[in-house]
Amino acid sequence: MLDRSSLLSDVPGLVHGFSNRNGGASQGPHATLNLGRRWNDDPAAVEENHRRLAEAGGYAVDQLRTVRQVHGASVMRAEDLQSDSTADGLWCRAGQGVVAAVLTADCVPILLADRRGTVAAAVHSGWRGTVADIAGHAVARLGEAGVSPSDLVAAVGPCIEQVAFEVGEEVAEHFDPLFDGVFVDRTRWPKPHVDLVGVVSAQLRAAGLSQDAIERVGACTHDHPDRWFSYRRDGAGIGQMLSFAGYPAP
């Protein structure tokens, strides 16, 4: 049901995790732990899935905060959410009883927290958000909250990896200026393949995190249909995973 980061597990008071597709109540193409409410799944099953995940994750369902994601680079404070808010990252402070979360099904989920356990963030980095450096924006937002990048630890969760992420030149050209294009491979396949994990990790380092403060959790969503949902593999409507980090009330 959950994958966790050893780095984030050492943060005092923090709950966190990356869900997979096992251990839920959904049936058919959504089987079994679909956390997305937009994909024509049985609403009662989705609510039960959220209840089970909350129990396993150590928070109450009403403490979870999500936002309508738009493949951008905005990172909001979870306590500022309104019903019409849009963003692709949320952050929260300890003591507010809030857990920030994002939904993914191939895009890169990133969880951040400071080693002292005062702030946390959950980030959805799709290809557009990756080009716009949402990882760096998240680190900057936590910096505005008084946390130095050198105090942060990050986990990059299950997502599509380079072998499966074939793109057209119209997408690849957006990545060419990033880090001298080293994360775009045009040599091994007929079309370009982009290493999103490599780009995001490099962006976190460029934002001030050390290499040993960044952990990769999980594997390629596209290549493991028994473990993760994948938009690229299965199309829209199949299901989504949830990645969360925060400080629930006692």
CA 132 vs CA 30, 127, 148, 168, 175: distances in Å: 31, 9, 21, 18, 10
| Mean pLDDT confidence for 163-178 | 98
pLDDT on residue 176: 98
| Mean pLDDT confidence for 152-156 | 99
Residue-wise pLDDT tens digits, 46-58: 999 999 999 999 9
Residue-wise pLDDT tens digits, 227-250: 999 999 999 889 999 999 999 987
| Mean pLDDT confidence for 204-223 | 98
CA 176 vs CA 45, 128, 131, 194, 234: distances in Å: 43, 13, 10, 10, 28
CATH value of 2-247 in 2.40.50.140, 3.40.50.12780, 3.60.140.10, 3.20.20.70: 3.60.140.10
pLDDT on residue 34: 98
Task: Using the structure block, give the residue that is written with the tokens 């049985």.
Answer: 42
Show the tokens assigned to 71. 């493949």
Task: Using the structure block, give the residue that is written with the tokens 């050893």.
Answer: 6
Q: pLDDT-based confidence at 39, cuts 50/70/90?
A: confident
pLDDT on residue 236: 82
pLDDT on residue 250: 76
pLDDT on residue 121: 99
Secondary structure of 124-142 in HEC code, one letter for each residue: EECHHHHHCCHHHHHHHHH
Residue ranges per domain, the chain? Answer: 2-247
In this prediction, what percent of the chain has a pLDDT beyond 70? 100
pTM over cut 0.85: yes
CA–CA distance, 16 with 200 (Å, rounded to integer): 19
In this prediction, what percent of the chain has a pLDDT beyond 90? 97
